Chains A and B, each alone.
Chain A
């Protein structure tokens, strides 16, 4: 077998996400490509959490509904997911907790086993994973390598628990072995953090909000390694304003939040627009309005971020769709922010941020360092000096004999306030000119991607986290898949090129109104159908496959 899907389920606090990652890392050792979808409600203990790990010979970016194995710590898991188990699939479960008439199953008295081994309760997973490895024909050595790496505490006891599962299970299939581990298995949020670091991030200021908090946590964890300043202030308003303080002082900075927090950041975002302070906001979408469905996914804030904050200034909106794009564009967002003194939204979502992927850095374009326009140290400094590009050279305090003045008000070149109609017009024209320069600058970068059959007459439109599932089905069904990564200012020329000759255009989105469809229609492109999903869950491969059959027939 060379493609597997494995579901692990239990209560919050049972280490379900970690169990999924362990399974992913085991497959990684065998040279598979990975994707993990993690589903959890908004609570700390109890409830039902599950992970679906998909391992494949080819690069993947989506999960499957139907699974080969279910690892169930509790009854809930089998009650909810039994129908996902493929014919001949195996249930591996806690024999005390779970009663089931699934034809093929193996059970273990997990509590007893961990007690006997003197292991912590959370090690129950390890027994199931041990049994799974045996059943999938994976060598014990592989499992031991991964466990030793991933479980720093009480490893011997954990190994004992795993061994018990391994020894008692029977081999059902033989997992093919490929080469060697391709690359790290890592979540989208962690990739955002590493991408920002690659882009020379100096500081990250954020208030926790699901599903963006993973970025804050990982950067806080790396602060010492990279010598960066990570600040968690009193609220999102303070977060973006502090970030702008960092930017004024010459530090490359980002903040991150979800929709509700970004509502609070809007005034600061608009301030950045007027004062021309470079800022990157990681905006991880979750279903709204308001609190919505906090730990689930959506793509419903595209038009919100494109129009965030009062007044007319350019909101550069970038929505990466896979691991490599996320790494590249997180770094690149900082570069663009500093080169164009731009206000950038890196638009992600729960599915992108909290799923785990292989990150293959060999597939990421080489990036040059940011090259912002800096003051030449000659004459007297004017923060908003006129230039051909609309971008004024920056200087940062201290500069002897100079006053570096930024302003939220309409301002003279010096940064001093004015309400003069001629200068007010000039201020606005400067921002428009800067947008033109930005659009020109973006031309040499992959702002629109095409997957599948580039000549096909039927084209799927997608953005953000749907890239994975669309690209896979585009390949399989011979469809053209067009993914704009930069959504504002819209890369119309590249999009035109990508969509040329398509006779039927279908927009696939995780929202109820077709926000990308509306965006491209507004630019004069036609969209014939939409496939919309807005239950907070990402499309699975089967799910979209079926829906596509309906509209493409």
Chain B
């Protein structure tokens, strides 16, 4: 099967050079590979997106999808996973989506270790609303709502997810498809809450290509099972200061996932009417 097989009729409306293409062109071959080798049949995959430039990705992939609303990908994905644990649910969310409007959901998903994958199209600017700061924009960022420059610090989203209990914490970059594919595949196969922050460049409102190209490097000699080492590498770059930017899988841990307790309910067949009568007996 070729990546074309996953294409749809939808016209792609991202700007030329948009970092979202890298995410689209990485996820499609990963899904096809997993389908072909029998690891993950494509029909078992559900893609969920929020609102913003990133969200259009689900229109461009011929797979199950739930195009939801701003900030709410994670609760939708959680519901789908809890409803049917046989499905593999992948969220695509923007930085405004996941870190501003829907931050509580991100933290809770990490805390619960729900078995979904969340890929953040982190371009550090609101694109579709034409250029305002987001929670990961650097101090001094001049956007349409902060013309004099942003006077607060950004979040380090990896730190947030790591400290909230996420069991797969990683960072990719839209210039570097091979690494993205590698991370996506591992994230999807990881059992638990997988988090991928993709430094995805918005060429129109915040073109960081040359800055990132100068600063990114790939994690080497790193043991993602080592919590201390992971913390150190997660904290190496704070999304604000000038420093090297590590890419790759920072942390991975096996742990119980949210909804494991529900598995017992998927097979049981109950005579509802009889059970209601039995319960009502107690109330007489």
Interface string of A242-266 (1 = CB under 8 A from B): 1111111111010000000000000
How far does the Cβ of B99 sit from chain A's closest Cβ, in whole Å?
16
How far does the Cβ of A221 sit from chain B's closest Cβ, in whole Å?
9
Residue of B41, B75, B272 touching A237 (CB-CB under 8 A): B75
Residue of A nearest to B105 (CB): A238
Interface residue A505 (Cβ < 8 Å from any Cβ of B): no
Contacts of A227 in B (CB 8 A): 264-265, 268-270
Contacts of B8 in A (CB 8 A): 403, 414, 416
How far does the Cβ of B111 sit from chain A's closest Cβ, in whole Å?
9
Binding site for A on B (CB under 8 A): 8-10, 41, 43-44, 46, 51, 56, 58-59, 62-69, 72, 75-84, 86-87, 104-105, 108, 262, 264-265, 268-270, 272-273, 275-276, 279-284
What are 23 A-to-B residue pairs whose CB atoms are below 8 Å?
A: A184-B282, A198-B276, A205-B79, A222-B279, A226-B272, A227-B264, A228-B265, A229-B262, A231-B82, A234-B108, A235-B104, A241-B79, A246-B79, A249-B79, A249-B80, A397-B43, A397-B87, A398-B64, A406-B66, A408-B67, A414-B9, A417-B10, A417-B67
Q: Tell me the chain A residues, 195-225 only, with Cβ under 8 Å from chain B.
A: 197-198, 200, 202-203, 205, 222-223, 225
**In the bound complex, how far is the Cα of B67 from the Cα of A416, in angstroms?**
9
The answer to whether A194 touches B76, judged by C-beta atoms less than 8 angstroms apart, is: no
How far does the Cβ of B238 sit from chain A's closest Cβ, in whole Å?
26
**In the bound complex, how far is the Cα of B244 from the Cα of A216, in angstroms?**
49
Contacts of B262 in A (CB 8 A): 229
**In the bound complex, how far is the Cα of B43 from the Cα of A311, in angstroms?**
32
How far does the Cβ of B208 sit from chain A's closest Cβ, in whole Å?
28
Given known contacts A238-B75, A238-B105, A203 and B82 CB-to-CB distance under 8 angstroms: yes
**In the bound complex, how far is the Cα of B283 from the Cα of A397, in angstroms?**
40
Interface residue A401 (Cβ < 8 Å from any Cβ of B): yes
Contacts of A184 in B (CB 8 A): 280-284
The answer to whether B72 touches A417, judged by C-beta atoms less than 8 angstroms apart, is: no
Residue of B nearest to A227 (CB): B268
Interface residue A399 (Cβ < 8 Å from any Cβ of B): yes
Interface residue A387 (Cβ < 8 Å from any Cβ of B): no
**In the bound complex, how far is the Cα of B262 from the Cα of A440, in angstroms?**
39
Contacts of A205 in B (CB 8 A): 79
Most-contacted residue by chain A among B64, B72, B276, B282 (CB, 10 A)? B64
**In the bound complex, how far is the Cα of B273 from the Cα of A227, in angstroms?**
14
The answer to whether A185 touches B283, judged by C-beta atoms less than 8 angstroms apart, is: yes
**In the bound complex, how far is the Cα of B114 from the Cα of A233, in angstroms?**
12
**In the bound complex, how far is the Cα of B65 from the Cα of A406, in angstroms?**
6
Residue of A222, A251, A417 touching B56 (CB-CB under 8 A): A417
Summarize A's interface: helix, strand, loop or mixed: mixed
For the A-B complex, the count of residue pairs with Cβ-Cβ distances under 8 Å equals: 175
The answer to whether B41 touches A234, judged by C-beta atoms less than 8 angstroms apart, is: no
* Nearest 5 CB-CB pairings of A with B: A245-B79, A184-B283, A249-B83, A242-B79, A241-B75
Contacts of A239 in B (CB 8 A): 75
Residue of B9, B51, B265, B280 touching A194 (CB-CB under 8 A): B280
How far does the Cβ of B271 sit from chain A's closest Cβ, in whole Å?
10
Interface residue A372 (Cβ < 8 Å from any Cβ of B): no
Interface string of A394-415 (1 = CB under 8 A from B): 0011111111111111000011
Contacts of B43 in A (CB 8 A): 397-402
Contacts of A198 in B (CB 8 A): 272-273, 276
Contacts of B41 in A (CB 8 A): 398, 400
Interface residue A28 (Cβ < 8 Å from any Cβ of B): yes
The answer to whether A200 touches B272, judged by C-beta atoms less than 8 angstroms apart, is: yes
The answer to whether B65 touches A398, judged by C-beta atoms less than 8 angstroms apart, is: no
Other A-B contacts than A246-B83, A398-B86, 8 sampled, CB-CB below 8 A, are: A184-B281, A185-B283, A244-B68, A248-B46, A249-B46, A271-B69, A408-B67, A408-B68
Contacts of A181 in B (CB 8 A): 284
**In the bound complex, how far is the Cα of B270 from the Cα of A234, in angstroms?**
30
Given known contacts A185-B283, A416-B9, A245 and B83 CB-to-CB distance under 8 angstroms: yes
How far does the Cβ of A32 sit from chain B's closest Cβ, in whole Å?
13
Contacts of B84 in A (CB 8 A): 249-251, 396-397
Residue of B64, B77, B86, B283 touching A405 (CB-CB under 8 A): B64
Contacts of A226 in B (CB 8 A): 270, 272, 275
Contacts of A113 in B (CB 8 A): none
Contacts of B59 in A (CB 8 A): 416-417
The answer to whether B72 touches A241, judged by C-beta atoms less than 8 angstroms apart, is: yes
How far does the Cβ of A278 sit from chain B's closest Cβ, in whole Å?
13
Residue of B nearest to A251 (CB): B83
Interface residue A19 (Cβ < 8 Å from any Cβ of B): no
Residue of A nearest to B76 (CB): A245
How far does the Cβ of A489 sit from chain B's closest Cβ, in whole Å?
25
**In the bound complex, how far is the Cα of B43 from the Cα of A405, in angstroms?**
12
Given known contacts A197-B272, A226-B270, A234-B108, A403 and B62 CB-to-CB distance under 8 angstroms: yes
The answer to whether A244 touches B270, judged by C-beta atoms less than 8 angstroms apart, is: no
Interface residue A267 (Cβ < 8 Å from any Cβ of B): yes
Residue of A nearest to B44 (CB): A398
Contacts of B68 in A (CB 8 A): 241, 244, 271, 408
Residue of A237, A359, A398, A400 touching B87 (CB-CB under 8 A): A398
Interface residue A165 (Cβ < 8 Å from any Cβ of B): no
Residue of B nearest to A361 (CB): B280
